[in-house]
Amino acid sequence: MSRSGPDTARVAATPDADHVLPPAEAMLWAQDLVKTHRGAETATHAVRHVDLRVDRGEFVAIMGPSGAGKSTLLHLLGGLDRPDSGRIWLDGQRVDGLSEARWSLLRRRTVGIVFQFFNLVTNMTAADNVELPALLAGMSPRQARARREELFAELDLEDRARSTPAALSGGEQQRVALARALVNEPGLLLADEPTGNLDSRNTRDVLRLLARYHASGQTILLVTHDARVASGADRVISLFDGEIADDTALHAPADGPTTVADVLRLKG
């Protein structure tokens, strides 16, 4: 399978020794990641020899049909799951051999994660859900509260602080989840189908927020099957059957169609 496109060369530069250092501008660098899910009778090759690099400040989307291994790849990169083989550097640090506990410590400050089903802690209020990782990272309750209030103001959640997740709408839950992921100002934001469970309006809101945080310098790696979501990214990686099928930087908007009619005309 060939890897065409302007950015392929960048990811394909495989170092052959373990002591190779990642480029300084790489927030995330993965080499030759392999993960196979073994069931009772079958083995699913979820991720097959994936090389990936995300630079600081980049917004990268991973697209692909369901079952392509997108979520597994994201879990590997966030330390939620362990690769069978391969190497990962996060913020310049080699992380693939870390213990689960070390990963947890790393995630507190360096990686924020947003999921499709929001995955808020059901027993805690929205405010507690956001302040929890802040406290965990060592903030004082006062600092955590201030930071949370700041995020809630940005995400239009001020009046929802005392609600439990069950009392929130899907869009609100995802915004709380976003606040939780960003509360410690992580170097990398991982988002796993963040809009997969939202209607169009909430999808648009979440995308707008992601774009805003990206504009202020946040590095984002997002997994989605939704092209609308992916098109917000600077770069789109197509994952197919556990392998990278394509990796492309999206053009500046000037190159695109200026009106809907341009699109519709394409339909012929």
Partner 1 sequence: MRLPLLALLAKEPAHGYELKQALEQTFGAAYPQPNIGQIYVTLGRLEKNGLIKGQDIDQSNRPNKRVYEITDAGREELAAWFAEPTEGPRVRDEFFMKLVLAPGAGGSDRLALINTQRRHYLNVMRGLSRLAAQDRDNRVAQLLIEGAMLHLQADLDWLERCQEELD
Partner 2 sequence: MRALLRWVRADLRAHRGQAALMVLVTAVIAVSLILANALLRDAANPWQRIFLQSRGAHVWIHVRSGADTAPLTRLDGVTGVAGPYSTASADLVRGAEKVSLELRAAGPQLPSVARPLVRSGRWLDPARSDGIVLESSLARAMRADVGGTVTVRARDGATRTMRVLGVADSADQGSYPDWTPGLGWVLPTALDRVEPDPAHIQQAIGLRLRDPGSADFTAQQAVTTLGSGQVTQVTTWQQVRSAMGQDNRLLGLLLGVFGLVALVAAALATAGAAGGRVLAQVRDIAMLKTVGFTPAQVVRLFLYEHTALALAGMALGAGAASLFGPLLPGALGEAMGVWQAEPARAGALAATGAGVVLSIALATALPAWRAGRIPAAPTVRADRPASGISRLARLALLLKLPPALALGSRAAFHRPLRAGLTVARLAIPIMMITVALGSWATLDGFQDHPRQLGLAASLTARPSGIDDAAARRLLTEQPAVAAAYPGAEIPALVPGETTTITLRALGTADHPYPFALAAGHLIRDEDEAVAGQGALNLMHAKVGEWVRVTAGGTPHILHIVGRDIEPDHNGEMLSVDLGALAGPGGTPKAQYYALVLRPGANPTAVRTDLLAASHGRLDVRPVANPAAQLGLVRVVVVGLVGVLTLIGLAELVTATASGLRDHVRDLGVLRAMGLTPRQVTAIIVTSTALLTTAAVLAGTGLGVLLSNRLINMEGQASGVGAGIARMPAPETLLMAGAVAVAVAACVSVVPATRATRARITAALSANRT
Rounded-to-integer distance, Cα 94 and Cα 28, Å: 10
**12: phi then psi, degrees, rounded to nearest 5:** -80, -5
Looking at the DSSP bridge assignments, the partners of residue 94 are: 89
Q: Of these, 2, 42, 122, 216, which contacts partner 1 (CB under 8 A)?
A: 2
- Closest Cα partner for 63 from 234, 229, 206? 229
Nearer to partner 1, 206 or 207 (CB): 207
Single out the segment in contact with partner 1 by CB under 8 A; choices: 31-39, 146-154, 186-194, 245-253. Answer: 245-253
Of 94, 111, 79, 81, which is closest to residue 29 (Cα–Cα)?
94
Name which position in 24, 101, 166, 266 contacts partner 1 (CB under 8 A). 266
54, interface contact from partner 1, partner 2, none, CB < 5-8 Å by kind: none
199 binds partner 1 (CB under 8 A): no
Question: In the numeric block, which tokens belong to residue 182?
Answer: 């960003």
Q: Which is nearer to partner 2, 22 or 133 (CB)?
A: 133
Rounded to a whole number of angstroms, the minimum distance from the CB of residue 133 to partner 1 is: 30
Q: Which of residues 24-83 bind partner 1 (CB under 8 A)?
A: 64-65
Q: Given the rule CB under 8 A, which residues bind partner 2? A: 75, 78-81, 100-101, 103-105, 107-109, 113, 115, 117, 119-125, 128, 131-133, 135-137, 141, 180
Q: How far is it, in rounded angstroms, from Cα 20 to Cα 109? A: 24
Is the Cβ of residue 107 or residue 160 nearer to partner 2 in the bound state? 107
Please say whether the beta carbons of 136 and 166 come within 8 A: no
Give yes or no for residue 213 binding partner 1 (CB under 8 A).
Answer: no
Residue with the two structure tokens 């949370």: 148
What is the chain's alpha carbon radius of gyration, rounded to the nearest angstrom?
A: 19
Q: Considering only 17-25, 87-95, 119-127, 241-249, which stretch makes contact with partner 1 by CB under 8 A?
A: 241-249
Asked if residue 250 binds partner 1 (CB under 8 A), the reply is: yes
Whole-angstrom Cα distance, residue 178 to residue 88?
A: 24
Within 13-140, residue ranges assigned H as helices are: 70-77, 100-110, 126-136
Q: Does 227 bind partner 1 (CB under 8 A)?
A: yes
Q: Does 187 bind partner 1 (CB under 8 A)?
A: no
